[in-house]
Structure 1
Amino acid sequence: MQRNPVGKLLLFGATGDLAQRMLWPSLYGLHADGLLPEALTIVGSARGEQNDDAFRAFVQKALGQFLAADRKDDDKIASFLERLFFQPADLSDPASFAGLAEKIGDVSGGLAIYLSTAPSLFEPAVKGLESVGLAGETVRIGLEKPLGYDLASSREINDTVASAFPEERTFRIDHYLGKETVQNILALRFGNSFFEPVWNAQGIDNVQITIAETVGLEDRAGYYEGAGALRDMVANHMLQLVALIAMEPPALYDGAAIRDEKAKVFRSLRKIAPEDVPICTVTGQYEEGAVGGKVVKGYDDELGYDSNVETFVAIKAHIDNWRWQGVPFYLRTGKRMAKRRSEIAIQFKPVPHSMFSGRGGILQPNTLVIRLQPEEYVQLLVMAKEPGLDREGIRLREVPLNLSMDAEFAGSRRRIAYERLLLDLIEGDQTLFVRRDEVEAQWTWIDAIRAGWDANQTKPKHYAAGTWGPAGAIALTERDGVTWQDD
């Protein structure tokens, strides 16, 4: 891909939690490694009056708190801070944008804008930027999720953004796509020949995707009450993982080819009809329990009132195309679960006939596990012979073949996902960003599930914090003779 770096970056939400934990450490990391354009200047913007020096002190404090110890370098931090400037702005106030335009100045050398703000501010932000000349042909915009809460609101946001920024200058961010192991899915599938012959309904029995968190609401109560687990996790992160597992081989590693194939997957997702929703979905909400040896409150107790918002969801999904017909995709995500884990488990079909039957134990189907966090590895579970003289027959046992990313690439620094995404925004590479048709196809599928919940008056079942969710989630897979990969 031909890269077209900009000369200026404008970051809204510059004093927020995401900026402190992820964005400033990521930008500093790129600066420290000499990856940012030499003349790039960065303007932070947020509510509240402060001058450039006070803002630099704020960022320096955030770096001191959130940078890894081995990344702290006083000279590099000082030179990074010289890139930074601040302009206060209230995105809901049109009068704020004149000062922004004056602070940023000439954008003929290119400007990248990053909106790390509430989606309700996207529309006034885009209109305000356009009104002061900060939406022209040399300007591109990055949008942090969530992009709406259903198809209608997503289209409204996309229409607003498109009125000033065409698709080729719009970068929709899903930080999961910046994770090293997520990108390794493409390398694993399309850089090795031995998987492709069995990467289909003839070779694969089922696919399981789990994103489990041990945290509760933390400081996200306002957002989470309007979202729930389905909108928060499934509508973006999990469906993007489904697409990477299920997509056809792209012709090239570029934004258009990869996103074309992902969009085909989303359009092939079978809508879950209202009458099938009770069979194909499970919802839950955590109550009091123990996580990490500590007693924690239930969701309603944390909120201070009763709520029917789901903190857990499990779904049995299908992709109606030639490659995946009849293969269930089991999706599971929740808060206050037994372990923090993000992984994909691909279970292959069993051997058609076991020559070891009655002597060598029960054969287990091969499983490919792609762990995204907290560890990063790829593991293939295979059957192997136990050592011995075999006088009473060969004994087989399941053993793992491991590829540890940390061990194999020990000399390479593991980067924050936002480092890659911010650099791609600055350089104009859209490969790891989400296209409008992807987003809207995802919401079409999600909306059908929510409509089914409404039609069935579905309420989440309670599960104890520190467990793997309600009992119905186990039944969801066991009806098909499948067990969740919980080890």
Structure 2
Amino acid sequence: MMLSKEFKMVKEKSANFIIFGGSGDLAHRKLYPSLFRLYKAGYLKDHFAVIGTARRPWSDDYFRETIVASLKEYFTDDEKIMSEFAKHFFYQSHDVNDSAHYIALKNLAAKLNDQFEAENNRVYYMAIAPKFFGVVAEHINSEGLKTKDGYNRLVIEKPFGRDLDSACELNGNIAKAFPEDDIYRIDHYLGKEMIQDIPNIRANNPKFEEALNNKYVSNIQVTLAESLGVEDRGGYYETSGVLRDMIQNHIMQIVGAIASDDPAAKRAKDIHKNKTDLFASLKNLTPEQVDTNFVRGQYDIDESGTEKAYRQEDNVAEDSEIETYTAGKIEFDTERWDGVPFYVRSGKRMPNKASRIDIVFNDKVAELGINANTVVTLLIERTNNQSILINGVNYAESAQDFIKFPEEAEFTTGREAYASLIIDILSGNRVHFTLWDELRSTWKYIDSIRERWDSQKADFPNYMSGTMGPDASEMLLERDGNSWIWD
């Protein structure tokens, strides 16, 4: 995958990464390839080091071998370049509950800081189970790992809690060791190029922005569909389900990008205030409204019988009531969006992979010189270099004078999400990360759905693999006189 010009024009950064869970799948599949992209682009060069920690008793040499092996799965570069990159990596066997191990980690970090001239800048990356976030943050603070002269930034992967109470407890534990301004909660969808460019699209297209309100918008649809099943994540899904895994974080953040006020805002605190205000305006759901506005599903075998049902997957209960599909109608109590339904859905084993936002305008939009009932589609995952569709046609080829984005070549370079977010972390740019106030509101909303579902027995499985989900998903929109755009 090519790097965009944004990656090629940045200045080299200095930092010492400490990755808790450095031997794991996330680190090898996402973090190390992303760091290598930045290394090849010159963003990371001479003045960085990476310490991987985990319980496994690996040596530095073996750790570096695993890194090179993982890079070969994604890159065709000369192995010499990969090996030079891997020389910046060091390993320490680590027990997250053992204070002595943090002392050893502090000494190694200090040594590497001097060796690589990392300017006392440290990034502590939690690529571990969430139950360890608090204890690791506490030890980082109590054992004096944080430097005084450089920055100290804590990076946390989802899930951030499994409900509001656990999220509050987790945030409280972390906040004792790190101030909010130093906490970077990653949602990789916020690193995707389209999501990051939505404010620019809105700000640079006055007519489009003028139409984004309840006078002209019929409804907005967000779809995150996957063709695969849970694969080897059955154990995780049994504790999560798609409501927690996709709706509470990814989809809510996508909705925040398209629905927040003032897209021209530049400062992180202003952007996050807009999102915080939006999520605080989520209309509360009664149990009866959950029944009406939200649908859950679980996949069965496919028509040919070759694909497993969810209940046949490894580490899944034979009578599991965990959902692999969710569709819902979200509404906001704001002057701008009152009365506009935001239909959201995400599911496993759907016909194709799709990540998209469909904005459906009503007939009143003709007042702005726009064709009545126009549909603008923002493709989060691009197909054939298309990024925006107007009534199903690539906007660059459409006669519709609605959205103009002249730098199409720049817009389709395909930035890799994790690499983009790591740049932001090193630059201290918190725009594309999730703040606690946002999470608190979305968890409160999701909890009302989860609590209702947990009080009822699910009629599962209720959709066949390779289909668009349960029939109730279509009925959800039909009751309002609407229909899914992507079907």
The corresponding residue for 2:157 is 144
Query: What residue ranges of structure 1 are gaps of 5+ in the alignment?
Result: 355-362, 384-397
The corresponding residue for 1:59 is 67
The corresponding residue for 1:434 is 434
Query: Is 2:325 the partner of 1:345?
Result: no
Instruction: State the Cα distance separating 1:448 from its structure 2 match.
Output: 1.3
Query: Is 2:56 the partner of 1:45?
Result: no
Q: 1:367 to 1:439 in 2, by over 3 A?
A: same
Corresponding letter in the other structure for 1:180: E
Name the SS for the 2:213 alignment partner. Answer: coil
Which has the higher mean CA deviation after the structures are superposed, 371-380 or 326-335?
371-380
Aligned partners of 2:248, 2:88: CA distance in 1, in Å?
A: 36
Corresponding letter in the other structure for 1:261: N
Aligned partners of 2:229, 2:30: CA distance in 1, in Å?
A: 20
The corresponding residue for 2:218 is 205
Name the SS for the 1:296 alignment partner. Answer: coil
Query: Which residue, 309, 319, 323 being the options, matches 1:298?
Result: 309
The corresponding residue for 2:23 is 15
Instruction: State the Cα distance separating 1:463 from its structure 2 match.
Output: 0.4
Query: Which residue, 232, 240, 249 being the options, matches 2:245?
Result: 232
Aligned partners of 2:451, 2:62: CA distance in 1, in Å?
A: 49
Aligned partners of 2:442, 2:287: CA distance in 1, in Å?
A: 17
Instruction: State the Cα distance separating 1:75 from its structure 2 match.
Output: 4.1
Query: Which residue, 368, 375, 381 being the options, matches 2:376?
Result: 368
Q: 1:464 to 1:436 in 2, by over 3 A?
A: same
Check the 8 A contact 1:274/1:455 in 2, yes or no: no
Q: Deviations over 1:93-135 (max 9, x none)?
A: 4443222122112676121111111101112211222232124
- Superposed counterparts of 1:64-75, under 5 Å: 64-67=72-75, 69=76, 72-75=77-80
The corresponding residue for 2:478 is 478
Query: Is 2:110 the partner of 1:105?
Result: yes
Corresponding letter in the other structure for 2:51: V
Check the 8 A contact 2:205/2:404 in 1, yes or no: no
The corresponding residue for 2:5 is none
Check the 8 A contact 1:9/1:426 in 2, yes or no: no
Corresponding letter in the other structure for 1:380: I
Which has the higher mean CA deviation after the structures are superposed, 373-382 or 223-232?
373-382
Check the 8 A contact 1:143/1:172 in 2, yes or no: yes
Aligned partners of 2:144, 2:234: CA distance in 1, in Å?
A: 36
Name the SS for the 1:87 alignment partner. Answer: strand
The corresponding residue for 2:101 is 96
Q: Deviations over 1:352-399 (max 9, x none)?
A: 899xxxxxxxx971000011125351111289xxxxxxxxxxxxxx98
Name the SS for the 2:298 alignment partner. Answer: strand
Check the 8 A contact 1:112/1:139 in 2, yes or no: yes
Check the 8 A contact 2:205/2:403 in 1, yes or no: no
- Superposed counterparts of 1:266-305, under 5 Å: 266-289=279-302, 295-302=306-313, 303=316, 305=318
Query: Is 2:83 the partner of 1:78?
Result: yes
Query: Is 2:349 the partner of 1:321?
Result: no
Q: Where do 4+ consecutive residues of structure 1 move more than 6 Å?
A: 398-405
Aligned partners of 2:128, 2:223: CA distance in 1, in Å?
A: 27
Instruction: State the Cα distance separating 1:295 from its structure 2 match.
Output: 2.2
Corresponding pairs, count: 458
Query: Is 2:463 the partner of 1:450?
Result: no
Aligned partners of 1:145, 1:459: CA distance in 2, in Å?
A: 29
The corresponding residue for 1:114 is 125
Check the 8 A contact 1:312/1:332 in 2, yes or no: yes
Aligned partners of 2:227, 2:209: CA distance in 1, in Å?
A: 35
Larger Rg: 1
Name the SS for the 1:378 alignment partner. Answer: strand
Name the SS for the 2:161 alignment partner. Answer: coil
Instruction: State the Cα distance separating 1:82 from its structure 2 match.
Output: 1.7
Using structure 1 for the length normalisation, give the TM-score: 0.88
The corresponding residue for 1:418 is 418
Which has the higher mean CA deviation after the structures are superposed, 160-169 or 456-465?
456-465
Q: 1:33 to 1:3 in 2, by over 3 A?
A: closer
Name the SS for the 1:289 alignment partner. Answer: coil
Check the 8 A contact 2:242/2:326 in 1, yes or no: yes
Aligned partners of 1:279, 1:44: CA distance in 2, in Å?
A: 48
Q: Deviations over 1:282-311 (max 9, x none)?
A: 000001015xx8821000011252200011
Q: 1:33 to 1:294 in 2, by over 3 A?
A: farther
The percentage of counterpart residues that share the same residue type is: 35
Aligned partners of 1:311, 1:95: CA distance in 2, in Å?
A: 43
Check the 8 A contact 2:11/2:43 in 1, yes or no: no
Query: Is 2:203 the partner of 1:195?
Result: no
